[in-house]
Structure formats: C-alpha cells, structure tokens
Amino acid sequence: MKRKHGDTGGDFDFSGAALSRHWKELHEGDREPWPDDPLVQKAWRAFHTGDFAEAVEQGSGLGAAGAVVANKAAAVETLYMKRDAAKVLRILQAAVTRGERAAHELPDHANSHYTLALVLGRYSQRISILKALADGLAGKVRSHLERTLELEPHHAEAHVALGLYHAEIINKLGSLAAGLTYGASAEKALEHFRRACRLAPASPIVQLEHAHGLILLDASRHRAEAHKLYERVASLEPRDAMEAQDIAYARDNLAELQA
C-alpha cells in the first residue's frame, strides 16, 4: 500500500516486511508492540500510509485488538478537520465507546488507555475544555494517561498529553483554581513536556504538542522556545503520513509565531 503525501514530500510504502522493519522508529512515541495478527498489521499499514479513515474501519472490526489503531487513526483524522463538526463528533464519540470497551477488555495494554485518553481529549477540545471539565471528562483523560504511564513509563506521547492536560486547565481556569480543583500546575506540565522530548526527540507530534502547551501556559514567556520547537519540527523529514501532516502544520504556522 502506497500513498503520495503531496507537499510534505514522500511516498510511504510499508508493504511486505517494510512495516516490521520500520516499526520501532514509527512507534518511538507510543511504544506500541508489534502486532502478531496480520489483520491488525494491515490496519496499521493503512494508518502509516495516510488512509486514516480506512484504518478506523479496519481496526474497529477487530475488537479490542484493533481499537488502538482505530482510535489513533480517528484522533489523527479529526485533528485538522475544519469543516463538518457533526461528523467529527460522531467519529470521536464512536472512538470513545470503542476505547472504553478496549480498556476494559485489555486493562494492562498501555495504548488501550492512551488512545482512549487521546480521543477523549480530542472530543473535549471540540466541545470546549470548560464543558469537558463540567462533564467530568478531564478526570477520565488524566486517569487513563496516568494508567498508561504506570504500564509504560517511557511513553513519550502520554507524557506530552499529560503535560497538555495541565496546561489546558491552567489556561482556562488560571493557576490558582486549576491547582486547587484539579491539581494542575505549570511545573508538572513542563516536567512532562521535557520528559517526552527526551524520550522521543525525533517525533514531530511530541515537539508540536510541547510547543502548543508552552503557548497555553504563557504565550509571552515561552514564545521563543515554542518557535524553536516549530522550527525543529519543520526541519524534520517525515517517516509516515501522520508525521508528514504534523510537519506541514508546523511549516504553515511558523509565520504566526513570528508575528
């Protein structure tokens, strides 16, 4: 399976043994183990070549074993969708239901918890962080991220996501209320961001989310550091379609940080 990813420059071909050969670098950020099931492998091929909707469809038909790839694909597919908000919410709601089932059936699989937290977080951002806080979704996100890190302490994407959890709540409620009500702090956010970057220094999404979190915490104070992170992402060569999408986003948004 092969897909050309236009402006970001590459053909992503993971047919045959190529997927297993590149698996470790492709999953530097989430440390997902190599799947033995050929059908799950097929869903991951769709994911890494950029057929995110196909990866959702294939993975969602494979029960708990396919939920990780289906939910990660759903999160990526909806991340940059600007139109059809109702469709985005339907995709994310289905992913949350699928993720809750998978986390129950595979409680010791780190990415069952991580990808559930991921789609819960994406859903929260779409309905507004304040509504998500009121509905109790923030606590679920944090709980599943913390469980991810209990099971896999070197999970860079979970670290950066937990950093964002702290940063988004502080951004919406202010440091005092965020700390008293949710235990959120800038120090914890920064600790998770820096740990994530040490664990996965070549991961575009880790660097991007770190930059986003810094802006949420204090745009004036952290603008220069965020700009350096965007420049670092923009200079990377993508290893798959998800990274190509993130690198393109960084390149398109450098001008905004320079303004």
Q: What pLDDT does residue 257 have?
A: 62
Kindly indicate the confidence band of residue 10, based on its pLDDT and cuts at 50, 70 and 90: very low
Per-residue CA distances from 64 to 59, 93, 103, 157, 226 (Å): 9, 16, 8, 20, 37
Instruction: Over range 7-16, report the average pLDDT.
Output: 71
Handedness of CA 247, 248, 249, 250 (dihedral sign): positive
CA distance 80 to 176: 32
Phi and psi angles of residue 108, each rounded to the nearest 5 degrees, phi first: -105, 10
Kindly indicate the confidence band of residue 5, based on its pLDDT and cuts at 50, 70 and 90: very low
CA distance 131 to 182: 15
**pLDDT digit string, tens, across residues 58-82:** 999 999 999 999 999 999 999 877 7
Q: What pLDDT does residue 259 have?
A: 60
> What does the domain layout of the chain look like in residue ranges?
2-258
DSSP the chain: -EEE-GGG--EEE-TTTHHHHHHHHHTTTT-PPPP--HHHHHHHHHHHHT-HHHHHHHHHTTHHHHHHHHHHHHHHHHHT--S-HHHHHHHHHHHHHHHHHHHHH-TT-HHHHHHHHHHHHHHHHHH-HHHHHHTTHHHHHHHHHHHHHHH-TT-HHHHHHHHHHHHHHHHHH-HHHHHHHH---HHHHHHHHHHHHHH-TT-HHHHHHHHHHHHHHHHHHHHHHHHHHHHHHHTPPPSSHHHHHHHHHHHHHHHHHH-
Q: What is the pTM of this model?
A: 0.92
Phi and psi angles of residue 3, each rounded to the nearest 5 degrees, phi first: -140, 135
Whether the per-residue pLDDT at 9 is higher than 80: the answer is: no
What's the fold here for domain 2-258? Answer: 1.25.40
